[in-house]
Amino acid sequence: MKTILIAHNYNETSYSAMSYHLAHHLADLGHKVVFISHKPYFPEKKTVKTEKGEIFLYSWPSEKRPTSITDYIWFAKIYRQYTPDVIVGHFVGSNICILVSKLMSFGKVKTIEYYHTLTQATLTDIGKIPLKINLLLFRKKIFYRIFCDVIVCPSKLGKEALESFFGAKNGIVLLNSITDRFKLKKHISSDSIIVSFLGGLNPTKGIVELVTAYIKYKNENQNSKIILNIAGTGTQALEIIKLIQNVDGINYLGAISYDKVDDYLNKSDFTIIPSKFDNLPTVGLESLMNQTPLLISNNTGLTNYLVDGKDCFKFDPTVDSILSLFEKIETKSYSFEQMRKEARITYLDKFSIKSYCDNFTATLL
């Protein structure tokens, strides 16, 4: 059995849930599991009993992003205490965990890093790329090549981006997962077709193109039954609010708390993801889990794991393509009930927690 250290968030919110459940899965297999949680924050060490094992739970010295010398020294002590065989890093703190572990083990520890956010998406939202960003990208390239044994990409598109931007050849594809919270599909009136967006209102998400296409479509189809719901905040929020003023059929809800996400998606006929660049958008998994089929951009990594006309309708993130999409769903030349069932089947087959834990263990340990 091995000692495995995971740096992520120890909760069941969004895709943090996959690390939470992976820790329990590994402990139940007999491995010693150390978990460093950024959120929630644990001021003191906790020992969590699982069905067959236990997890040693810590948080960084402060609740802030771990980047200080104090954080490095603190982690070095954790490493010396447990001498893990495998390091699994997500976002905050993974740099410290992987760097220190590689150095202190003289390269023997196996390091697994996650590449969650497409670099194209980050750069698109930033706009003009300053020198500081170029330096950070160069630093990441060195980090990936020298200190990471495996880089996990949640989609094939992510792996391609990793190779393109960083020249890293050590990426593998392992699909993300979320907790199954589905109970019952809510009744949706046949008098309307509810299309819902949930996410950041930022350039890379294609929300301006979505709203522009909807307004144009409604102007040309006054009796359309399509209702567009928008939930989220971001740099383009004010622009979106201005665009939809006095437009019938668009509802802007602003930010919604995570405990309301399932209800929001469950009450929709479709969830729309018009992203210009996206790896494996979690809202897509949450939608499939809630038996809500997707309207999804061809520029997302998730698209490759769906079947057009079965669990989704695919489109290009342009105004013209979205106009054609609205025409397609308005004709209703498909079965809502069948698409809903297929969406749920896709989630269970590809994005369940069990699939993730089994694939992680078989592929990486």
Classify residue 183: in a domain, yes or no: no
122 in a domain, yes or no?
Answer: yes
Whether residues 144 and 71 share a domain: the answer is: yes
**Residue 106 in domain:** yes
Q: Are 114 and 164 within one domain?
A: yes
Q: How far apart are CA 81 and CA 14, in angstroms?
A: 31
Q: How many angstroms separate the most distant Cα atoms in the chain?
A: 68
Q: Are residues 343 and 317 in the same domain?
A: yes
Phi-psi region of 311 (alpha: psi -120 to 50; beta: other; left: phi over 0): alpha
N residues, the chain: 365
Token pair recorded at residue 91: 């976002």
Q: 340 and 257 share a domain?
A: yes
pLDDT at position 84, please?
Answer: 98
Please, which residues have CB within 8 angstroms of residue 202's CB and are 6 or more apart in sequence? 125, 234, 235, 236
Q: Which two tokens stand for residue 31?
A: 């491995």
Q: Classify residue 232: in a domain, yes or no.
A: yes
- 77 and 122 housed in the same domain: yes
Residue 7 is assigned to a structural domain of this protein: yes
Crossing angle, helix 119-126 and helix 156-166, to 10 degrees?
A: 70
Q: Is the peptide bond before 293 cis (omega within 30 degrees of 0)?
A: no
DSSP state of 205: G
Which long-range contacts (C-beta less than 8 Å, at least 24 apart) are formed by 93-96? Answer: 93/7, 93/36, 93/38, 93/60, 93/66, 94/7, 95/143, 96/66, 96/67, 96/71, 96/72
Backbone angles phi, psi at 152, to 5 degrees: -85, 125
Burial (0-12, 13-18, 19+ Cβ within 10 Å), 91:
middle
pLDDT digits (tens, 9 = 90+) for 113-172: 999 999 888 888 877 677 777 888 899 999 999 999 999 999 999 999 999 999 999 999
Residues 346 and 357 in one domain: no
pLDDT at 250: 97
Residue 184 lies in a domain: no
The structural domain count of the chain equals 2
Q: Which residues of the chain have pLDDT under 50?
A: none
pTM score of the predicted model: 0.94
Q: Kindly state whether residues 74 and 154 are assigned to the same domain.
A: yes
Residue 215 and residue 226 share a domain: yes
Q: Which residues pair with 87 in a beta bridge?
A: 5, 111
pLDDT at 245: 93
Q: Please tell me whether residues 145 and 42 are part of one structural domain.
A: yes
Helices in 83-126 by DSSP H: which ranges? 94-104, 119-126
Domain containing residue 9: CATH number = 3.40.50.2000
Return the half-sphere exposure (C-beta side, CA atoms, 13 A cut-off) of residue 308. Answer: 10
- Kindly provide the b/e burial profile for residues 181-213, where b requires at least 16 CB atoms within 10 angstroms of the residue's own CB: ebeeeeebeeeebbbbbbbbbbbbbbbbbbbeb
Q: Is residue 248 part of a domain?
A: yes
Q: Do 141 and 45 fall within a single domain?
A: yes
Closest to 251 (Cα-Cα) out of 292, 214, 291: 214
Tell me which residue range forms the domain holding 211: 193-350
In a domain, 185, yes or no: no
My answer on whether 246 and 312 are in the same domain is yes
Looking at the fold, whether 260 and 326 belong to one and the same domain comes out as yes
